[in-house]
Amino acid sequence: MQLSSWDFTLQNYDAVWGFMVQLGLLLLFLMLGNILRRKIPLFRNCLIPSALLGGTMLLLLNVVCKQFGFTPVDKRLMQVITYHCLAIGFAAMSLKTERSAHKTNRAQVVEFGALQGGTYMLQAFVGLGITLLLFLLTRHGSQIISYICGLILPLAFGQGPGNALSWDINFTNTPATQFAGNGSFGLSLASIGFVVASVFGVFYINLHKKRGALSVRHSATPAPSNEQADPNNVELPDNESVDKFTLQVGFVALAYAISFGFMCLLGVLSDFTNSIAWGFNFLWASLAAMLIKVVVKYLRKTQLMHRDYINNYQMDRISGFSFDLMIVAGVAAIEINDIKNYVLPIVILCLMGTIVTYAYVRLVAKECFKGFEHEFFLMCFGTLTGTASNGMILLKEVDPNLRTPTSSLYILSNFPAMVMIAPLLLFLSFASQSLTNAVIACAIFFVLWLVYTLFLFRRRVFKKHYKDKPNTPWEDTEQ
């Protein structure tokens, strides 16, 4: 029997070279974005991410090349990379060992989760409310604005391009929504969210520095390392037959493989479970990573595993690389023709989303996180309009050695935040089925936001005294 052969020539470009050329473009323009950020003070001072600059340059290159009949960017492949990088980044983040560098208040851990849930619900309520109104105003016109597109706001601002892309496409494929974002609408919102996180974060820092309310918390000693915090930490040595980084990638791949199997199971159970399976790849990857972490912890406890194979530092590098790649690919995948009819809702959603997020996070920071409210605000605002990377960059501008408990609270609040955000994720598919469902979902988001807000402001509203005194201002005792 004669086997068919193939070669590596240009005739087999799509099969052999297509993916590598697209990946090379992403990495090349990521490096160019970093050069641009380093050389132009405006971008550097505004903390604009290098990945965003690189993606914008690649998008502009694609637009220019199209005028000459050549398209260097494979939009579909860029969307696929964006979709998977979100889940890979979340899996790597979830695999990290949660070791807090500070003594944290349990009430504040839950409050941080409630704030994230409350902000998501507020963004969903405001975004969906705006587009419901725009739909009613344009429903008899020539250009109807879909009622559902505002629900992409919390996904774009809160979770970045990956989930915004996923649900943009889901809504586009749902006839009842009359929506044709084709992924570009959500990616546009997410891209603007990065700019909002950076520009408004820098504005906040400069404003409060001038007022004397904010100063950089320098320290004579370096920030404690999570890897040094545990005396029982026995890492895999660098001279093993398998590279340490390879094992980290293997753990992430295992988490994603488990999540893929779970998504396949949901896909065959029913139409409803199929509708929620594939859009939440990042959530299933996070849960699978947590399961792996529990198993590893058990094996370590029973002495069946004698080394710490999961390395926090390298997991940070994997998630950082994934999110950088996601941002560049997400911006490059934007199709200008797909968003030209949605300029008005994009502008209104971004403007209102920025205002309500800024105001809500600021109020909660003053109420629940006294003593480090500015550091907390910057971390939370950056995360809830961009990504965790944006929040960490802003935090390190004023707290370079992480002396405040902000970063520790963020690490420990991942699970309560996931629980508080879950209702939004569950109602996404429901809201897209009809206008009536969207109105019901909008009302539910408002009620949930009200519940979370009452919890956060419970001391002020109910005048109740708590034994743990979670509202006692945190004090920086380091000299």
Q: What is the 3-state secondary structure (H, E, C) of 247-280?
A: HHHHHHHHHHHHHHHHHHHHHHHCHHHHHHHHHH
pLDDT band, very low/low/confident/very high, at 162 (cuts 50, 70, 90): confident
- Position 411 scores a pLDDT of 77
pLDDT tier at 449, thresholds 50, 70, 90 = very high
Instruction: Tell me: pLDDT of 39 over 50.
Output: yes
Helix (H) or strand (E) holding 320: helix 312-332
- 97 or 382, which is more confident: 382
- The alpha carbon of 94 is separated from its chain's Cα centroid by a whole number of angstroms, namely 13
Of 62, 95, 120, the closest CA to residue 444 belongs to: 120
Is the pLDDT at 226 greater than 60, yes or no?
Answer: no
DSSP 470: T
Question: Residue 474: its pLDDT value, please?
Answer: 63
| pLDDT tier for residue 158 given thresholds of 50, 70 and 90 | confident
343: pLDDT confidence band, cut at 50, 70 and 90? very high
Nearest alpha-carbon partner for 156 in 115, 184, 118:
184
Residues 114-119, mean pLDDT to the nearest whole number: 95
pLDDT surpasses 70 at 5: no
Region 159-186: mean pLDDT is 90
Residues near 40 by Cβ (< 8 Å), separated by ≥ 6? none
Q: Where are the beta strands (DSSP E) in 222-381?
A: none
pLDDT tens per residue across span 236-247: 666 667 788 899
CA distance 263 to 88: 15
pLDDT at 123 over 70: yes
Q: Is the pLDDT of residue 264 over 80?
A: yes
The reported pLDDT for the residue numbered 373 is: 92
pLDDT at position 472 = 59
Q: Rounded mean pLDDT of 383-391?
A: 86
What per-residue confidence (pLDDT) applies to 388?
A: 80
Model confidence band, residue 11 (pLDDT cutoffs 50, 70, 90):
confident
Percent of the chain with pLDDT over 70: 89
Which of the residue ranges 54-68, 92-106, 296-310 would you say has the lowest mean pLDDT? Answer: 92-106
Taking CA atoms, 316 is separated from 131, 248, 319, 388, in Å, by 37, 10, 5, 11
User: 372 Cβ partners below 8 Å, 6+ apart?
Assistant: 399, 404, 405, 406, 474, 476
CA distance 261 to 26: 29
Separation between Cα atoms, residue 413 and residue 319, nearest integer Å = 18
475 against 390, higher pLDDT = 390
- Give the integer Cα–Cα distance in Å for 468 and 89: 35
Whether 479 shows a pLDDT value over 60: the answer reads no
Tell me the range of 32-46, 389-403, 465-479 where mean pLDDT is highest.
Answer: 32-46
Amino acid at 128: L
Which residue type occupies 299?
L
Q: Which helix (H) or strand (E) holds 421?
A: helix 414-431
d(Cα 222, Cα 232) in Å, to the nearest integer? 21
pLDDT of res. 387: 80
If you average pLDDT over residues 207-233, what whole number do you get? 64
Range 379-408 average pLDDT: 86
Inform me whether the pLDDT recorded for 469 exceeds 60: no
- Residue 333 confidence (pLDDT) above 70: yes
* Average pLDDT score, the chain: 86
Q: In the numeric block, which tokens belong to residue 215?
A: 């100063």
Q: What share of the chain is helix, strand, coil (3-state, %, to 5)?
A: 75, 0, 25
In 254-376, DSSP assigns E strands to none
Instruction: Write down the pTM of the prediction.
Output: 0.84
> What pLDDT sits at residue 102?
58
| The predicted structure's pLDDT at residue 309 | 85
Q: Per-residue confidence at 1, pLDDT binned at 50, 70, 90?
A: very low
Does an H or E element contain 85, and which? helix 75-95
Please give the Cα distance from 119 to 421 (Å, whole number). 9
- Tell me the pLDDT band of 336, cut-offs 50, 70 and 90: confident
User: Could you tell me how many residues make up the chain?
Assistant: 479
